Amino acid sequence: MLEVGAGRVAWQERAIRLGLGAQDGTRYANAQVDDCHQGGAAFRWRPPLRLQVEARFSHGVGELRGTAGFGFWNDPFGMTGKPRLDLPRTLWFFFAGPPSDLPLAVGVPGRGWKAATLDARRWEALAALPSAPLVVPMLRIPWLYRWWWPRVQRRLRIGEAVVPVDLQAWHRYEIEWGVAQCRFWVDGLLILHLPFAPGGPMGLVAWIDNQYMEMTPQGRFRHGVVMAQAQWLEIRRLQIVR
């Protein structure tokens, strides 16, 4: 469990509420539950498995700020006490509000409520790192971006789809994590099916915070914290089936 600034984790009778108090944009706040602290440096989860979550938010897509979500990650920034930084690996339902802009998948908006995957620890991704300083400036040329970025996206195992639901209503979310594929379901409907999947192991995480990040293929990068009203993510059922 992680509570930073005005972030609070409230264990209710039938749900967990991850909440943030009103924020003036000067301090970072986060309410988070995870199992990344367990078992020392080793993460617990590997495919195949299925994650099932019932969740809702205090606000809709247009009003929610910061980032939030639930699923699996490798804690690349050491937020849960991991001793070293790492390249990111994620498999989750992810929200980013304005001014965040993370347009990693071609044709998918850089913010909003999405099903998303990323695996920058694959050997194909690592092999491309030395050329990044040369390639990134070239992606500012539109035709080069259209030609090159889909290839980068495949190497990084980036897959995304917008989840078009009312965030304030209860929904049943599922992630099916296989060795060679993954699927995302909402209320029994398939939202995203990818013929690949991030590798393991990863840790389970659910959070809501007030940060934003802009990171584009063309090399724009900035991050910080935003002003936000009091807001929360509530989870009343979470189950992992192997």
128-169 residue pLDDT tens: 665 666 667 777 888 888 887 888 889 899 999 999 999 999
Q: Give the model's pLDDT for residue 193.
A: 99
Look at the block and give the residue holding tokens 């080793």.
42
CATH number of the domain encompassing residue 81: 2.60.120.200
pLDDT tens, residue by residue, 195-208: 999 999 999 999 99
Q: Give the model's pLDDT for residue 126.
A: 58
DSSP 127: H
Q: How many domains does the chain have?
A: 1
Domain that holds residue 177: 2-241
Strands 30-34 and 203-209: antiparallel
Report residues of the chain scoring pLDDT below 50: 39-40
Beta strand segments in the chain, E: 2-4, 7-11, 16-20, 23-24, 30-34, 49-57, 67-73, 89-96, 112-119, 159-162, 171-177, 182-186, 189-194, 203-209, 211-215, 221-225, 227-228, 231-241
Q: Give the model's pLDDT for residue 84.
A: 65
Nearest partner of 224 among 69, 25, 64, judged by Cα: 25
Q: Give the model's pLDDT for residue 132.
A: 63
Backbone angles phi, psi at 57, to 5 degrees: -120, 165
